[in-house]
Amino acid sequence: MRAARILPTPASSLGRHALIKGGGLAAGLGLVVLIGLVDHATGLANHLELLYVVPISVASWMSGRIGGIVVALAAVASWQFAQPPVLASIAATVVFILFVGLIGRLRQALDRSDERFSAAMDALLDPVYVEDGRTGELLYRNRSYAEIFGASRPRFQAAGETQNPAGDRWFVLRSQSLAWSDGRSATLCVLSDVTEERRAREMIAKQRDAAHRTARLIALGEFASAIAHELNQPLAAIATYNHSCMRMLESGNLDTGELQQAMHVCRDQAKRAGKIIQRLRSLLRPPGPAFAEQNLNELVGAVLRLAEPEAREAGIRFERQLAPKAPVVRADRLLVEQVAVNLIRNAMEAVQELPAERRRIIVATRVEADGSGTLSVADLGEGVPETLKAGLFDPFVTNKPGGLGLGLSICRSVVEAHGGRIRHEANARASGAVFAFTLPGAA
């Protein structure tokens, strides 16, 4: 494969090509002289004329047909010192020239094969390039790569995806090791256009989030409908008896017994409404936490495995800074995992639109002096707005479009139910925020 047809040929490459052609011609003539001298030194008794094929082949391959013909004529002239028959000289000349023509045809066929390969690569819509496996030098690029990336090199995200310089197309890298034409190790790289697939994934993610929000709203609507239905009857009774009491008071004709009975009925109906609410709450309330000893380092590993696919798709990297001695706390594994998942998901949303170097989340654990364990999630986002810091863990406080503002409130309720505490602070080492919760130790 000749990259000169795809890449601009520098002056150094032209000089090297001319040097190779000149070297081939010089080597051929030198071998002719050497063979002639050896033949004469041995008294022309060894019939070395067949060896002239070697310099003719070298010159024909390296210097082309003209160089091969020059060396072939030099070989015939050198052979004349052996005073061969005229017919043999003519036959040798014809054979040498035919041999030059054969080598030329082979070289031309190889060049055409390279041209066909280059044409096939140029016909591909996907960018294709070959780089040196050791130095990363660009050895070859097809027309599509030159048109999209020019002389620049693509920068890949953790998921192996990259954007074109215009920023409107996405490509994923597929590579394969191979041996280059000069024998060195190289890597064949193909950039497949995944723009539509990425848009489809984003659309599916948006639809999934919309479906989750819709499901929550439906559940809230059903709960509200159930409350309204159950409370309608006792509230209607209270309103009716209250109206009767008001009429007796306005008429001035008070029947103490009847008024007292009506007030008792109102009281009983109010108690009934309270019991209905308590019953609905008991139906919705999950069972109490199942406390057990939990290793926070293991819990971090489990939570990151859940978040890894979505993070990889968004080009987000997780860094673990786990305590050498694992913090062991007494907690409900499912509930604490959900708290950690919620904090990590918030951090991912905070950095997913940022440059690649800031799409990094640090998840750390440590053992406190009193034996309790702390899990923290730090991001490099824009931080929490000042207007939200005071009530950050209160219900319905959020700055997310379409968010309900219940996530951190639920996290606080779960942590406090375990006897722990949750807090927020600015990232002291960089921009962003740190959310951390501490749970009592198991000991």
Average pLDDT value for the chain: 79
Average pLDDT for 332-345: 88
Q: Considering 78, 96, 123, which residue would you say is the last residue of a domain? A: 123
Sign of the alpha-carbon torsion through 388, 391, 393, 396: negative
Which range among 267-276, 314-323, 398-407, 424-433 shows the weakest confidence by mean pLDDT?
398-407
**What percent of the chain is modeled with pLDDT above 90?**
13
SS3 321: strand
Judgement on whether residues 404 and 339 belong to the same structural domain of the protein: yes
Judgement on whether residues 207 and 150 belong to the same structural domain of the protein: no
Q: Which alpha helices (H) appear in 124-194, and where do they start and end?
A: 143-149
Average pLDDT for 78-105: 74
Judgement on whether residues 62 and 183 belong to the same structural domain of the protein: no
Q: Considering 74, 101, 123, which residue would you say is the last residue of a domain? A: 123
Judgement on whether residues 314 and 430 belong to the same structural domain of the protein: yes
Q: What is the pLDDT of residues 61-72, one digit of tens each?
A: 777 778 778 877
Q: What is the residue whose two structure tokens read 């041995």?
A: 42
Q: What band does 176 get if pLDDT is binned at 50, 70 and 90?
A: confident
Residue 48 carries which DSSP code? G
Q: Considering 193, 212, 233, which residue would you say is the last residue of a domain? A: 193
Total number of domains in the chain:
4
Residue 5: predicted pLDDT: 39
Cα–Cα distance between 443 and 440 in angstroms, integer? 9
Residue 317 carries which DSSP code? E
For residues 344 and 272, which has the higher predicted lDDT (pLDDT)? 344
Residue 3: predicted pLDDT: 40
Cα–Cα distance between 15 and 67 in angstroms, integer? 18
Q: What is the pLDDT of residues 134-175, one digit of tens each?
A: 888 888 888 888 888 887 778 777 667 887 777 678 888 888
Judgement on whether residues 33 and 111 belong to the same structural domain of the protein: yes
Judgement on whether residues 179 and 224 belong to the same structural domain of the protein: no
Residue 198 has pLDDT above 50, yes or no: yes
Average pLDDT for 214-235: 73
Highest mean pLDDT among 194-198, 265-269, 374-378, 415-419: 374-378
Residue 74: predicted pLDDT: 79
Judgement on whether residues 397 and 427 belong to the same structural domain of the protein: yes
Q: What band does 311 get if pLDDT is binned at 50, 70 and 90?
A: confident
Judgement on whether residues 118 and 133 belong to the same structural domain of the protein: no
Residue 422 has pLDDT above 80, yes or no: yes
Residue 117: predicted pLDDT: 72
Cα–Cα distance between 52 and 31 in angstroms, integer? 8
Residue 268: predicted pLDDT: 79
SS3 399: coil
For residues 373 and 206, which has the higher predicted lDDT (pLDDT)? 373
CATH label of the domain that carries residue 212:
1.10.287.130
DSSP H or E stretch at residue 59:
helix 53-79
Cα–Cα distance between 32 and 81 in angstroms, integer? 13
Domain span holding position 136: 128-193
Judgement on whether residues 146 and 23 belong to the same structural domain of the protein: no
Judgement on whether residues 17 and 83 belong to the same structural domain of the protein: yes
Give the count of beta carbons closer than 10 Å to the beta carbon of residue 269: 20
Q: What is the pLDDT of residues 41-55, one digit of tens each?
A: 665 555 666 777 788
Look at residues 336, 338, 317, 314 and name the one whose alpha carbon lies nearest to residue 327: 336
- Give the neighbor-by-neighbor strand order of the sheet with 161-163: 138-141, 128-132, 185-193, 170-179, 161-163
Residue 441 carries which DSSP code? B
| Whether 175 contacts 190, CB under 8 Å | yes
Query: C-alpha 242: how far from its chain's center?
Result: 67
Judgement on whether residues 431 and 312 belong to the same structural domain of the protein: yes
Judgement on whether residues 232 and 342 belong to the same structural domain of the protein: no
